[in-house]
Amino acid sequence: MNARTGGEIDRSGDYRPGRDWLWFARRRTYAVFVLRELTSVLVAWTIVFLLMLTDAVLGGSLPEFAALAARPWMIAINVVALAATVFHAITFLNLAPKATVVRLDGYRLPAWLIQGGNHTLWLVVSLVIAFFVLRGFQ
């Protein structure tokens, strides 16, 4: 039996490699990939929370929703979800040059230009949304 992967020889004499449950911890890029995929759960929670907020606004139950959202455990979940969503978005936008090839006059645009455009657009959209949301509180 292999101590690291748990591989063993079966009855027929064939070697069957075991599972390496920490395969993603061997390289930083693999760890970031797995972490980004796991943050999808918290991104989904953010969507559910925003749908609950929309339902509360449209259904007239905003005070009850605000009381739920003000609980310390709910605030903690949403702070972690915000951090996970930001990490997910940044790592996703950084992958765009690998998935999208943009050519101008036969020359491929450099990765930093595609990433910069994605991050700039994300920042602009976030600032526009923040402007309208914060303006509503005045």
Identify the band that residue 4 occupies on the pLDDT scale cut at 50, 70 and 90. Answer: low
Summarize the confidence of residues 12-39 as an average pLDDT: 85
**Does the residue 35 lie in any domain?**
no
* Distance of alpha carbon 71 from alpha carbon 8, whole angstroms: 51
Q: Is 96 helix (H, G, I), strand (E, B) or coil?
A: helix
Query: Which tokens sit at 21?
Result: 């449950």
Is 133 contained in some domain? Answer: yes
Model confidence pLDDT, tens digit, residues 33-83: 899 999 999 999 999 999 999 999 999 999 999 999 999 999 999 999 999
pLDDT at 19: 75
Expressed as residue numbers, the domain containing 113 is: 101-138
| 130 falls within a domain | yes
Whether residue 108 is contained in a domain is answered as: yes
Of the two residues 99 and 66, the one the predictor is more confident about is 66
Q: What is the mean pLDDT of residues 100-119?
A: 89
31 pLDDT higher than 70: yes
Q: Tell me whether residue 105 is in a domain.
A: yes
User: Count of domains in the chain?
Assistant: 1
Pick the closest to residue 5 from 14, 15, 13 (CA basis).
15
